[in-house]
Amino acid sequence: MGDLKTVKCVVWDLDNTLWQGTLVEDPEVVLVERIRSVVETLDARGILQSVASKNDHEPAWAALERLGLGEYLVLPQISWGPKSTAVRVIADRLNFAYDTVAFVDDLPNERAEVAFHLPDVRCYPAADAPGLPDRPEFQPTITVDSRRRRAMYQAGFHRERARETFAGTDEDFLRTLDIRMSIVQATEDQLARVEELTLRTSQMNATGVHYSAETLRGFLDDPGHEVFVISMSDRFGSHGAIGVVLLHRHREVWHLKLLATSCRVVSLGAGATLLRWLIDRSARAGAHLAADFRRTDRNRMMEVAYRFAGLTDEDCACVRAIGIAGRDGIEVLHIRPAPQPAPTTMTVEAPGLGGPVVSGATP
Ligand SMILES: [Zn+2]
């Protein structure tokens, strides 16, 4: 199957596709159990599902609720407009590339209309629906967040709506969210998600280095290294695991090998809060903080975050002492840290990092 991308969202037609029957002719449409099971299976794999249907919205949505399908669907598009428009709206709102979107419809002319305007969208006849979960493109890597992906997106839409109707400043809005950040040592079952974060966080990734689950597992076993997983939640729900920190603590200097956060939480100030936490903890440990940074064509935002937090190009003896200066393509940004005030827009729960520092000359 080569580089075939996996499907991130399935857009369903309703009449004679998701359910049997045509709603305008037969209000008692029925759901076959095989299709319900497909919907549940895709949902558990973290594949989002939506609707593009030519019907009146209210009766169609009422039927979906009656069949117990409403909760599985995000951004339903039920109107008399072209299906290609509906599919495009869904993909654009989700910020998904069209080749990660699937469209299922029993009518060949509807599939042709979508395929003509959106040639990258994968179109499937309704007869193929029962077998979709067996196809490789519907078998993504499952992580700890897959099962709650749909709930996270739904929470995101509620959050966006609340922001649109909030009259105050961004900071005032953040304070209304009751944001909680949790920083914990990674466990074995989180490694797949941590690896995914190192791959997918292009804009807020300090080095663009991909760490495999194997390498990360090695760090877990090495007392000199810390792998932290960062999760966030607010009053709308959980954001799941949104960031990763790889840290090597020496006595004189804490070496931040990687800081990466999901771009979904940039507007919540996740990166800046994490940096302040690291600066505060290194200050309290009496160590300097040195961070690897490698410029990529997408991570300018991360450099801004480091500079804004006070890290500079200062050539400090601590960096030379642990032998991390002068590596190919990697700059070291450095700060003589001072204790930081607690963040004003969120609560941070984190380990004390008060344990013994494992020192050593190896980076
Ligand atoms: Zn230093």
- Average pLDDT score over the chain: 90
Residues of the chain with CATH 3.40.50.1000: 9-138
What's the mean pLDDT in 6-22? 96
CA 120–ligand 1 middle distance (angstroms) = 51
CA 288–ligand 1 middle distance (angstroms) = 5
Q: Strand ranges (DSSP E) for the chain?
A: 9-12, 48-53, 77-78, 101-105, 122-125, 179-185, 225-234, 237-249, 253-261, 288-293, 331-335, 346-349
CA 341/CA 76 separation, integer angstroms? 44
CB 283 within 8 A of CB 337: yes
CA 250–ligand 1 middle distance (angstroms) = 11
Q: Is the pLDDT of residue 266 over 90?
A: no
Top-level class of domain 169-349: alpha beta
Q: Is the pLDDT of residue 356 over 50?
A: no
- Provide, rounded to the nearest whole percent, the portion of the chain with pLDDT above 90: 69
Amino acid at 18: L
Q: What is residue 190's predicted lDDT score, i.e. its pLDDT?
A: 86
CA 253–ligand 1 middle distance (angstroms) = 6
- Indicate the range of 32-36, 47-51, 109-113, 117-121 predicted with least confidence: 32-36
For 87, the token pair is 């599919």
CA 200–ligand 1 middle distance (angstroms) = 31
Q: Is the CATH number 3.40.50.1000 carried by domain 9-138?
A: yes
What's the mean pLDDT in 326-335? 88
CB 144 within 8 A of CB 311: no
Q: What is residue 212's predicted lDDT score, i.e. its pLDDT?
A: 85
CA 185–ligand 1 middle distance (angstroms) = 25
CA 15–ligand 1 middle distance (angstroms) = 66
CA 338–ligand 1 middle distance (angstroms) = 13
CA 275–ligand 1 middle distance (angstroms) = 16
Q: Is the pLDDT of residue 2 over 50?
A: no
- Confidence tier at 74 by pLDDT (50, 70, 90): very high
- Confidence tier at 3 by pLDDT (50, 70, 90): low
Going by C-beta distance under 8 Å and a sequence separation of 6 or more, which residues neighbour residue 83? 13, 52, 54, 103, 105, 110, 113, 114
Going by C-beta distance under 8 Å and a sequence separation of 6 or more, which residues neighbour residue 273? 181, 343, 346, 348
- Confidence tier at 50 by pLDDT (50, 70, 90): very high
CB 42 within 8 A of CB 137: no
CA 312–ligand 1 middle distance (angstroms) = 11
Q: What is residue 201's predicted lDDT score, i.e. its pLDDT?
A: 72
CA 153–ligand 1 middle distance (angstroms) = 42
CA 203–ligand 1 middle distance (angstroms) = 27
- Indicate the range of 71-75, 273-277, 326-330 predicted with least confidence: 326-330
CA 258–ligand 1 middle distance (angstroms) = 18
CA 291–ligand 1 middle distance (angstroms) = 11
Q: What is residue 353's predicted lDDT score, i.e. its pLDDT?
A: 59
- Confidence tier at 352 by pLDDT (50, 70, 90): low
CA 136–ligand 1 middle distance (angstroms) = 50
What is the C-alpha radius of gyration for the chain, rounded to an integer number of angstroms? Answer: 24
- Confidence tier at 358 by pLDDT (50, 70, 90): very low
Number of C-beta neighbours around residue 65 at 10 A: 11
Q: What is residue 42's predicted lDDT score, i.e. its pLDDT?
A: 97
CA 314–ligand 1 middle distance (angstroms) = 8
CA 305–ligand 1 middle distance (angstroms) = 19
CA 307–ligand 1 middle distance (angstroms) = 16
Phi, psi of 248 (to 5 degrees): -120, 110
CA 83/CA 100 separation, integer angstroms? 17
Q: What is residue 53's predicted lDDT score, i.e. its pLDDT?
A: 97
Q: Strand ranges (DSSP E) for 7-79?
A: 9-12, 48-53, 77-78
- In the chain the first and final C-alpha atoms are separated, in Å, by 39
Residues of the chain with CATH 3.40.630.30: 169-349
Question: pLDDT tens digits, residue range 177-228?
Answer: 999 999 999 998 888 888 888 877 767 788 888 888 888 888 988 888 999 9
CA 192/CA 328 separation, integer angstroms? 28
C-alpha to C-alpha distances, 61 to 32, 74, 106, 131, 194, nearest whole angstrom: 18, 12, 19, 25, 37
Going by C-beta distance under 8 Å and a sequence separation of 6 or more, which residues neighbour residue 326? none
pTM above 0.85, yes or no: no
CA 350–ligand 1 middle distance (angstroms) = 24
CA 331–ligand 1 middle distance (angstroms) = 14
Q: What is residue 195's predicted lDDT score, i.e. its pLDDT?
A: 87
- Judged by DSSP in three states, 218 sits in helix
CB 237 within 8 A of CB 150: no
- Indicate the range of 93-107, 114-128, 197-211, 344-358 predicted with least confidence: 344-358
Q: Is the pLDDT of residue 35 over 80?
A: yes
